[in-house]
Structure 1
Amino acid sequence: MAPSKAKHASGQPWVIPGGFSVLSLQFSSDSAARHCLYVKEHKVRTEKSSHRPLDRTLFLLNIPPYCSEVVVKELFSQFGGIESVELRDHPGSSQESGPKISKLFRPPEKQGFKVGYIVFKNSSSLQAVKSYPFDAPLVVSTEQRPVKTGVQKWIQQYSESFIQPEKLQQKVDNFMQSYDERKEKEAEQKKEEAERQQEEEEGWVKVTRGHKGAKARPHSEAANEKTLQKEKRKKRRKELLNFYTWQHRNTQKEHIAELRKKFEEDKQKIALLRAQRKFKPY
């Protein structure tokens, strides 16, 4: 995304179409080249995760490869306290769900320009970033926080790629322990769900005795409402069954009444034929 070439006043923020503010980035104080960052307040209606609150999250584009999460946090800490920094290859929903895996077991990250999400502690920090003047560049590498690039960065990455066996074993043990705990929790939830479903189908409630000295817990409003709805369903089923039973009995009574009526009519016809002497059974 290339910034517009329109002139802007000195000491004023530079806003381009799309609502993005342009920040100037300078690698070092003696560097002549500058890099442009495009920042905007994160406003996505489909974002349901509390990991990125809509009123405190800043969205960044065109982050250079030499800016890590630590560097980005140090650059933007001058605008206010920061809760978290997240860099990704492309925009998308946050990966908050699921277990966190150590970088030793993840595939290597792609080296290139990234997008980022910065969550500030206060919403006023967003306005401070958007109103920052374009002609005051943010310096990435200083004497207090030097950033390595080129061969020095490769040497550092190569040195950090080696890990002690004790640390590796500890990370593996921690991962397996969290995995076992997560599986046990899922199994317990499935068991409770199966028991709850069976109780609802059979209409029985399992009552267990608590430990000695435990006080009985009062029924919650949700539990009382659930019980009331269950009783209403039972009552409706019973009324429907009684209606069908009454309808069947009433139909049988009407059929018997019709048979008796026809029998009486036949008796009267036979008596009339006998009186007229026209009845010849043989």
Structure 2
Amino acid sequence: MAPSKKKHVRSESCVIPGGFTELSLQFSSDSVSQHKLYVKEHRVRADKSSRPLDRTLFVLNIPPYCSKAVVTELFSQFGTVHYVELCDQPGSSQQTEPTVSPMFKPAEKQGFNVGYIVFKNATSIKAAKSHPHDVPLVVSTEQHPVKTGVQKWIQQYRNSFISTDKIQQVVDSFMEDYDKRKEMEAEQQRKEAEQQQEDEEGWVKVSRGNKGAKARPYSEAANQRTLQKEIKKKKRKELLNFYTWQHRKTQREHIAELRKKFEDDKQRITLLRAQRKFKPY
């Protein structure tokens, strides 16, 4: 039988439409089925996050059993991985979100993710894209086993419990920061009270504060006096004679008061005349 003239074809990377390179993923060495990852160099100019454009690899279709540690281990064979981001859909960096204590952090969504893998060297991007598509990346190995199914649920359940010592440390740290803030606020209020303290004549010393800060020339006593004046002013402006009968009653009382004053003045004048002390001119 004549020898075959067919030459062995060298394994090469598989590039699909859209500029993505296909990578095969295999859970373990004895697994039959394979999973497909799609990678592409991240070059979104509008992205204002901290992802460098020349060292970031964009990955699609990451399965739920691949955590950040697993993804880091898989792509470490192409070069040193700086950090990994996993999210539900492509978007801005998650580093802008406020940090939350792990004790109050909600459970992560279980599903397929997209990832941003930032390498330390730009040559790692080319190495990952040139990886043969028929050579799968193995997830679970003897050195780095990955648990799934019931074993994974048991591990997650055990990890959900937090030791009392760790909780106590977090609480103590929070209370120390709280006490420091309260002491600073009390010290600030004390300084302001000293600056705004009135002297014996009621004057308030107005000092120039920091640049951009507004000085407060009024103390607590001055604020109370101003408030009392506003209350009196408001009472004077209140409409007392709203009804007609109230207005007539007020007029009658005013006339009666004037008549009484007139009679008192007449009696005083008569008494002064009797005493010959009246001097009209």
Sort the TM-score into its range (normalised by shorter chain): 0.5 to 0.7
Task: Please list the CA deviations of residues 5-29 of structure 1 after superposition, one character each: whole Å capped at 9, or x if unmatched.
Answer: xxxx651001111111110000000
Give distance in 1, aligned partners of 2:161 and 2:46: 41
Secondary structure of the corresponding residue to residue 86 of structure 2 = strand
Residue 19 of structure 2: aligned partner: 19
Structure 1 residues 170 and 99: CA distance shift in structure 2, 3 A: farther
Structure 1 residues 148 and 48: CA distance shift in structure 2, 3 A: same
Q: Which amino acid aligns with 2:149?
A: G
Secondary structure of the corresponding residue to residue 95 of structure 2 = coil
Displacement, 1:37?
A: 0.4
Residue 135 of structure 2: aligned partner: 136
Structure 1 residues 108 and 20: CA distance shift in structure 2, 3 A: same
Match runs of 1:176-195 below 5 Å: 195=210
Residue 161 of structure 1: aligned partner: 160
Structure 1 residues 45 and 175: CA distance shift in structure 2, 3 A: farther
Give distance in 2, aligned partners of 1:112 and 1:137: 21
Query: Structure 2: 5+ residue runs without aligned partners?
Result: 1-8, 189-208, 215-281
Number of residue pairs matched by the alignment:
182
Displacement, 1:95?
A: 2.2
Identity %: 65
TM-score by length of 1: 0.59
Residue 29 of structure 1: aligned partner: 29
Root-mean-square deviation over aligned CA pairs: 2.6
Secondary structure of the corresponding residue to residue 96 of structure 1 = helix
Structure 1 residues 115 and 179: CA distance shift in structure 2, 3 A: farther
Verify the 8 A CA contact 1:56 1:119 in the aligned structure 2. Answer: yes
Secondary structure of the corresponding residue to residue 168 of structure 2 = helix
Secondary structure of the corresponding residue to residue 125 of structure 1 = helix
Structure 1 moving runs of 4+ over 6 Å = 176-184
Verify the 8 A CA contact 1:13 1:130 in the aligned structure 2. Answer: yes
Query: Structure 1: 5+ residue runs without aligned partners?
Result: 1-8, 189-193, 200-282
Structure 1 residues 89 and 103: CA distance shift in structure 2, 3 A: farther
Say which is worse superposed, 92-101 or 152-161, in terms of deviation: 92-101
Higher-Rg structure is 2
Give distance in 2, aligned partners of 1:124 and 1:180: 50
Residue 114 of structure 2: aligned partner: 115
Give distance in 1, aligned partners of 2:56 and 2:151: 33
Displacement, 1:173?
A: 4.2
TM-score by length of 2: 0.59
Verify the 8 A CA contact 1:12 1:132 in the aligned structure 2. Answer: yes
Displacement, 1:167?
A: 0.6
Displacement, 1:172?
A: 4.1
Q: Which amino acid aligns with 1:40?
A: K
Structure 1 residues 37 and 162: CA distance shift in structure 2, 3 A: same
Displacement, 1:78?
A: 0.5
Verify the 8 A CA contact 1:83 1:121 in the aligned structure 2. Answer: yes
Displacement, 1:103?
A: 2.6
Structure 1 residues 94 and 174: CA distance shift in structure 2, 3 A: farther
Structure 1 residues 26 and 179: CA distance shift in structure 2, 3 A: farther
Verify the 8 A CA contact 1:10 1:135 in the aligned structure 2. Answer: no
Residue 41 of structure 1: aligned partner: 41
Q: Structure 1 residue 126 and structure 2 residue 132: aligned?
A: no
Displacement, 1:171?
A: 3.0
More helix by share: 1
